[in-house]
Amino acid sequence: MKIYEAHSMGEMSRKAANIISAQVILYPHSVLGLATGSSPIGTYEQLADWYKKGDLDFSEVTTVNLDEYRGLDGSSEQSYRYFMNQHLFSKVNIKLERTHIPNGMAEDVEAECRRYDELIASLGGIDLQLLGLGHNGHIGFNEPSGAFEKTTHCVDLGESTIQANSRFFERMEDVPRQAITMGIKSIMQAKKILLIVGGEDKKEILHRSLFGPVTPNVPASILQLHPNLTVVSCNAL
């Protein structure tokens, strides 16, 4: 485990972007696992800036996102497809057909989950997986539970997650209660994992995740077992 402590959110974003850009430069055909939420926005902005300066080429990169809300299509401003288009995909030269996000509108959710796992396998797995950390220790939308969910699945979101996500919606009742999320197995099979965590409000859960017992009650704690984990934090250690 490598841990970097940044002195500002901007420094955290640049460090994370440096790690991702090195992956893309050294391995142009990389499969990147991407995350949404507030934590990676600065990282995506930095990557887009370096692309505009001619330092990065995303034309051969493939991406698979961690999750999508159930019941939202890609045109919804709160969907994660929309988020990725706004913050990264529309700002670099990535081919949209190489960008993959679970279909939140799928009628057969179980079939969609199988399709997503098969897609990841067909790509040869994930080369570098970017993660944020929820206040309850979730990664992706793998919520605290009695067991680690291995494969892509539909999850009932915990109350703390719903509360945290409500800032993106006009009304609390508009916040989706379910999501389709990549499973722990697919995350842990990534060749490299990059975890970015910012803010003093994440100190306790980050410490439990990195140094506490490995337990599905803190889903991120399983990252302790990954052979190539890099953590970049700001005011969270």
pTM over cut 0.85: yes
Whether 93 is catalytic is no
Catalytic option among 143, 149, 153, 226:
143
> Coil, helix or strand for 206?
helix
Give all domains of the chain, ordered by start, each with its CATH number. Answer: 2-234 (3.40.50.1360)
pLDDT tens, the chain, 237 aa long:
999 999 999 999 999 999 999 999 999 999 999 999 899 999 999 999 999 999 999 999 999 999 999 999 998 998 999 999 999 999 999 999 999 999 999 999 999 999 999 999 999 999 999 999 999 999 999 999 999 989 999 998 878 788 877 777 878 877 788 999 999 999 999 999 999 999 999 999 999 999 999 999 999 999 999 999 999 999 888
Q: Is 60 one of the catalytic residues?
A: no
Q: Please state at what angle helix 41-52 crosses helix 80-87, rounded to 10 degrees.
A: 40
Catalytic residue, chosen from 65, 67, 112, 149, is 67
**Cα 230 from Cα 176, distance rounded (Å):** 31
* Identified catalytic residue from 18, 85, 136, 235: 136
Quick check: is 138 catalytic? yes
Is 87 part of the annotated catalytic residue set?
A: no
